[in-house]
A and B are shown apart, each in its own frame.
Chain A
Amino acid sequence: MDSASFQFVLFGLFVALLSNLSRARVWRSGVLLLSSFIFLALLAHQPIVFVPLAVFLLLGFGCLKLLERGWSSSLTWSVLSITLIYVWLKKYTFLPESSFLHFPYFTLGLSYIFFRVLHLLIESGGEERNQKVGLGEYLMYTLNFTTLVSGPIQRYDTFAEDQFAADPIPLDAGTIGLQLERIIRGLFKVNVLAMLIDMVRVDALAQLSQPLPASLKLFAAFRLAVAYPFFLYANFSGYIDIVIALARLMRLRLPENFDRPFSASSFLDFWNRWHITLSTWLKTYVYNPLLIAMMRRVTSLEAQPFLGVISFFVTFFLIGIWHGRTSEFAVFGVLQGGGVAINKLWQVWLGKRLGRKGYKALASKPIYVAFGRGLTFSWFAFTLFWFWASWSQIHTTFGSIGAGGWAAIWLAIWLTATVILAAWEQIRAALLSIRTADGPVLTNRYARVIYASALGLAAFVVMALLSQPAPDIVYKAF
């Protein structure tokens, strides 16, 4: 149930059906709350495992009530204590092992709950909210089964706007068709596409430790590096497709989490398109306050552009280390932060050298965009080694073909990504340019039915053939 399985989809569709039996706010809220509790109960059967999560949630609610009653001075302490408890419950390795709870307990989705709770606290402490958040609303927002496992991270105001609307958003046949098509697309992405890409990656990883000729090892290294970004995209965005569509069938609009990330022509742009709700959250609550705070202290105009660089580094370093508890993720954070910081520095340097107009002219040149896109993909693929691999796997992998081999591989990946992604953009644009009065032919209702039928069939056949559990959603571990 905590993956993109048929069971999860059937559960979601059933809840959506139930939710639509009445448009009344109380009914829809009751269905959401009850289904979220049932969802949790299906994931773990012993009540004791939920105790730490319940305490975490109640603490968050207590802090929220304090802030709502005007104790704004408690905001810092609330945020700090919630963060510390989160870090402790997630067993970050920099804390002493002896301090942890030594019984199995439920942490699935805790990261996403943490973001939601912090968001509520900060918003509540920062400005007056017209409407107070009751316990039921709080639990509905934090435990919503469509966003529990892997997000997306929704703001409370947008959640409340749809969930508690007296007149819920419309749901007609066209919208239902779109959502069903999106669910099928999501199932295909996770259960077929991601599975096939991961197959390539795991096989390539195994080949790197086998006594193969250098040429085959180089090819294996190439496949290994290239496969993971696509796997992660298919796995995560497929799951997000399913939950967004299920929520929409419940008349709840969730924010989008992806916007064609491999079309990004810079690493900064990439993070506007990849895990959008996470980067938006951190930009809102880390980047902006940090930049403003530094600008208040550093008044030199010369230094100001570099404050953005520092803020970007800190923000994306935090994004990196949020992903995991171990030192690999610290390096992943440094590489994410380093990537955006260098990207920003490059923009600052080019802006100074060419002037604003010159920089804009250069940045709009197709060749510059294409190479930027290739480099962005290559850098992201490189950083992901610290995302999926342990130190021993990293040593084995990088030791298998030597520094020279890897230099050649990254150059090849950059050039290949530049050419392939540029070609893809051209083909996509050409295909979408075939239009009727209703819009592009390839996205009309009939075309969608054709490819949804084909993808649905493929997903069904592969799932029936392999009879194995649906692949795990990578981001549920965070």
Chain B
Amino acid sequence: MSPEKPSEQNHPLNKKVRKADWVLLPLLAILTVGVIVCSIELTARHLFQESKTTTLNCLVFNDPSTAVKARPNSVCSQKLFESTLTDYHFNSCGHRAGMECGPKPTGTYRIVLTGSSFAEGLWVPREQTFAGLLPGDLSRLTGRKVEVYNEGMQWGTPHSVDLRFDEVLAEKPDMILWTVTPWDVDNASITTPYVATIANGQTTQAPAASDAPAGKVAGIVRRITVAFQRKSIPQAFEDAWSRAVVMPFNETRTSFLLQHFLYKSQSQYLKHYLMQDESGAFLKAQPNENFQGNLKEFDTYAADIAAKAKAAGVPLVVVLLPQRAQAAMISMGEWPSGFDPYKLGEEIRQPVESDGAIYIDVLHGFRTIPNPEQYYFPVDGHIDAGAHAILSRLLAQRLASGVVPGLSSAAQTKPTLKDVK
């Protein structure tokens, strides 16, 4: 009657299932899953290894009066899953400056760089960071001898920068360059972040509150009961799914491997990132209340820092360095409605300029850089040596454009877009 019917009757698999198959087939399925899971996990562990040493051994991060700082004259090294093994040498003042602290050489224009992990050059050899490259780029553009003294420090939030601003001024800068990241704005007031505690050189995690010693079954029942009382049934199931499956899976190296390769894709990374309500809040055209509160905190510290710089008579230059998704959106030139990758830059510019500091923009420079997100570590999110080189050139262009008195390339040829590629 109709040609639509599939010829199911003759399918060889429609023969009766043998008794032995009722055991064999599930075993085969379990064996297949087991072999795949083990082999991928082993491969991932081989491909992505991290060092046993850590930068945490060089840091003091439990003193709220100074915020996170490095121990003077300490040396550490660390390899992240995605990075190479990187050395960190801190001078006698506890700075990854590549030089000793103290007076600058005669005739040198000194920039003191402050900020968080991007400024410090986390996971990148010092010579390849923008702090290491900027003197050369600026000297070429201005004809002046320029040095960059780097006081950038991981967890260098605005509050931390404010707390240690005396150290910045102590280096007698001709100019202060404060690089801000979206993370800094999000965590403006943090000084002593929770990190794994160090005991005998080993990192250990603080015990989880849920590790009750007795009554495990009773505890599970209680937690389930509470969960269903507090949340709707779908929400409770979603949370249970997340705790039982997603979170343990995210701890595996297989998960890391998959994230690493999936997030290399611009579109996939953006899609995933923009779904996160909190981490992507700074990209929203209408940021949520929480982020606006963070922005106000940032403004408070920025005003304090600007006042200190003004009192010392040193120009303060503030720049927003883009986060990975932000750089990708700017480069693509289009983004979903409700988002704006330039918005945070403007949010920072206005208060900073009204405080008497100088704001320079490097975000627009990313429009001409193809796939800038490839210069970030896909899972970790920090910038690699490629992004440091780009930032160095963009910063040099902006700084030499006459915005800072005493540092101008008026006599030089204007750089072309090729310079930033």
Q: Which residues of A contact B (CB under 8 A)?
A: 154-155, 157-158, 161, 172-175, 177-178, 195, 198-200, 202-203, 206-207, 209-212, 216, 253, 255-256, 277, 280, 438-439, 443-446, 448-450, 452-454, 457, 461-462, 464-468
Contact = CB atoms under 8 A, between A and B. Distances in A.
B263 to A, nearest CB: 10
18 contacts: A158-B5, A175-B14, A177-B25, A178-B13, A178-B14, A199-B265, A199-B267, A203-B265, A203-B267, A206-B267, A207-B370, A438-B15, A444-B12, A445-B21, A450-B28, A453-B28, A464-B245, A465-B250
Contacts of B262: 199, 465-466
B54 to A, nearest CB: 26
Given A206-B332, A453-B28, A465-B255, A253 B5 contact: yes
Interface stretch (B31-39, B110-118, B120-128, B152-160): B31-39
Given A175-B14, A253-B6, A461-B258, A446 B28 contact: yes
A449 B258 CA distance: 24
Contacts of A175: 8, 14
Nearest to B27: A449
Interface of B: 1-6, 8, 11-17, 21, 24-25, 28-29, 32-33, 36-37, 245-246, 249-250, 254-255, 258-259, 262, 265-268, 271-272, 275, 331-333, 368, 370-371, 417, 421
Contact of B32 (A255, A277, A453): A453
Contacts of A462: 258
A438 to B, nearest CB: 5
Contact of B17 (A174, A195, A203, A277): A174
Contact of B259 (A157, A210, A452, A465): A465
Contacts of A464: 245-246, 249
Contacts of A200: 265
B48 to A, nearest CB: 15
Contacts of A468: 271-272, 275
A177 B32 contact: no
A310 to B, nearest CB: 25
A446 B25 contact: yes
Question: Which of A178, A202, A280 gathers most chain B CB within 10 Å?
Answer: A202
Question: Which of B37, B250, B265, B370 gathers most chain A CB within 10 Å?
Answer: B370
The 10 closest A-B pairs by CB, nearest first: A255-B4, A202-B267, A210-B370, A453-B32, A439-B12, A453-B29, A199-B265, A173-B17, A199-B268, A174-B14
A212 B368 CA distance: 10
A315 to B, nearest CB: 17
A446 B21 CA distance: 9
Contacts of A438: 12, 15
Contact of B2 (A158, A173, A211, A457): A158
Contacts, number: 126
B332 A209 contact: yes
A155 B2 contact: yes
Nearest to A256: B6
A256 to B, nearest CB: 6
B249 A465 contact: yes
A445 B25 contact: yes
Given A157-B1, A253-B5, A467-B246, A206 B266 contact: yes
A6 to B, nearest CB: 10
Question: Which of B6, B267, B333, B368 gathers most chain A CB within 10 Å?
Answer: B267
Nearest to B372: A210
B251 to A, nearest CB: 12
Contact of B4 (A195, A202, A256, A466): A256
Given A206-B266, A453-B33, A465 B13 contact: no
A390 to B, nearest CB: 12
A172 B29 contact: no
Nearest to A216: B370
Contacts of B3: 280
A454 B31 CA distance: 10
A438 B17 CA distance: 13
Contacts of B370: 207, 210-212, 216
A265 B258 CA distance: 37
A252 B24 CA distance: 29
B4 A158 contact: yes
Given A450-B32, A453-B28, A453-B29, A465 B12 contact: no
B13 to A, nearest CB: 5
B13 A445 contact: yes
B235 to A, nearest CB: 14
Given A256-B4, A461-B249, A466 B272 contact: yes
A211 B5 contact: no
A255 B7 CA distance: 11
A173 B28 CA distance: 17
A384 B112 CA distance: 55
Contacts of A209: 332-333
A253 B246 contact: no
A468 B272 CA distance: 7
Contact of B28 (A255, A256, A277, A449): A449
Contacts of B16: 172-174
Contacts of A255: 2, 4-6
A443 B15 CA distance: 13
A157 B6 CA distance: 15
Contacts of B1: 157-158, 161
Contacts of B29: 449-450, 452-453
Given A157-B2, A445-B21, A210 B32 contact: no
A221 to B, nearest CB: 15
A172 B9 CA distance: 12
A199 B421 CA distance: 25
B36 A277 contact: no
A367 B249 CA distance: 49
Contacts of A445: 13, 17, 21, 25
Question: Which of A161, A174, A454 gathers most chain B CB within 10 Å?
Answer: A174
Given A452-B29, A468-B272, 9 more contacts: A158-B5, A172-B14, A199-B262, A207-B370, A445-B13, A446-B25, A453-B32, A457-B32, A457-B36
B4 A277 contact: yes
Nearest to A466: B272
A211 B17 CA distance: 60
Contacts of B246: 464-465, 467
A210 B11 CA distance: 52
Contacts of B258: 461-462, 465
Contacts of A466: 262, 272
B9 to A, nearest CB: 9
Contacts of B421: 211
A174 B16 CA distance: 7
A448 B37 contact: no
Nearest to B15: A174
A168 to B, nearest CB: 14
Contacts of B6: 253, 255-256
Contacts of A212: 370
Contacts of A207: 370-371
